[in-house]
Chains A and B, each alone.
Chain A
Amino acid sequence: MTPLYLLAVLGCGALFGYGLALSTMIRPEVVLSFLRGQDYGLMLVMGGAVVVTFMAYRWAPRRLRAPLLGGQFDTHPSVMNRDTLLGAAIFGVGWGLCGVCPGPAIASLGAGNLPTLWALAGIALGAWLQGAQADRHGPAAAGAPAD
């Protein structure tokens, strides 16, 4: 990976983090107010992001032979199985409990939200448990797709 490539990834990440902060998704209290039915702003955040992403995911592979900085166009490999749905259900329980999900957990550190380190530690531990469990069930079961 060239320095330009990494700089581009860093810049995209910074725009992502700026959007998470601007939309106040780095405040768990705002996310919980959505999940309590008090403020539907999260629908606008997700809706705005999905519409823009949808257009780029459709347009780019049709108009460009390859990504501008090389490589190929990946796809998000989700599969309809028990793990996808059970995992989503468990994710939702945790999300409804603390109002933190992976992106905002990382971004909120930049705005000085140090208590979120607890959530970050929890997410890292949870990801390790999932990997360790998948290992025990053998390589055949270790097929949760990357996102």
Chain B
Amino acid sequence: MQAILPLGWTHYLAGGVAIGLAVALLFVLTGRIGGMSTVFSSSWSWLSRRSYFQQARFVGTRAWRAVFALGLVLGAGLWWWLQGPDQPVRTGLPPGVLLAGGLLVGYGARLSGGCTSGHGICGLGSAQMPSLAAVLVFMATGFATALAVQAMGWLP
């Protein structure tokens, strides 16, 4: 256990179940699918007049998606207040890496129609084969990239 889970396992499983309950509750109450990448397209419909962003599937869902995203911020804030460390949780990664990585994450997730939550949790949760394929592909390129970056010594 120590070799594959050096930081323990209970917080991982409890956090995962909480995420699952959130997606489940959203579905039971509203029938909505709680993937997180679509909010990055639907929110552009407020700012951009491009026909892509003005599609009904974005304009019609942008309000609840924005509220859901606000909930994520509040929930993590609640955790910080109740159980978190005194200091803010700050990443030590350089801004350029975060920006470049984020750009690929945003473009790729929207082209693919889902991310770790959309394909990973909601797609697998509804036994969708295209989502399983997407998860296997992004896990493979994710592992390859992280290992390559580490091997080349770009990041500590």
Contact = CB atoms under 8 A, between A and B. Distances in A.
Contacts, number: 561
A74 to B, nearest CB: 5
Given A35-B142, A144-B110, A106 B72 contact: yes
Contacts of B126: 53-54, 57, 75-76
Given A108-B76, A127-B110, A23 B37 contact: no
Interface of B: 4-7, 9, 11-44, 48, 50-53, 55, 57-58, 61, 63-64, 67-80, 83-84, 87-93, 95, 97-131, 133-135, 137-150, 155
A27 B135 CA distance: 21
B99 A49 contact: no
Contacts of B130: 78-81, 84
A117 to B, nearest CB: 8
Contacts of B25: 8, 11-12, 15, 56
Contacts of A91: 104-105, 108-109, 112, 115, 138, 141
Given A78-B114, A118-B102, A39 B64 contact: no
Interface string A96-114: 1111111101111111111
A137 B150 CA distance: 37
29 contacts: A9-B30, A9-B64, A15-B21, A19-B17, A22-B11, A26-B76, A41-B5, A47-B13, A53-B125, A53-B126, A56-B28, A60-B24, A60-B27, A79-B113, A91-B112, A94-B107, A94-B108, A97-B146, A101-B109, A101-B115, A102-B105, A102-B109, A103-B36, A110-B79, A111-B84, A115-B91, A118-B95, A146-B42, A147-B117
Contacts of A125: 102-103, 106
Contacts of A85: 112, 133-134, 137
A58 to B, nearest CB: 8
Contacts of A126: 40, 102-110
Contact of A76 (B84, B128, B137): B128
A114 to B, nearest CB: 7
A85 to B, nearest CB: 5
Nearest to B72: A17
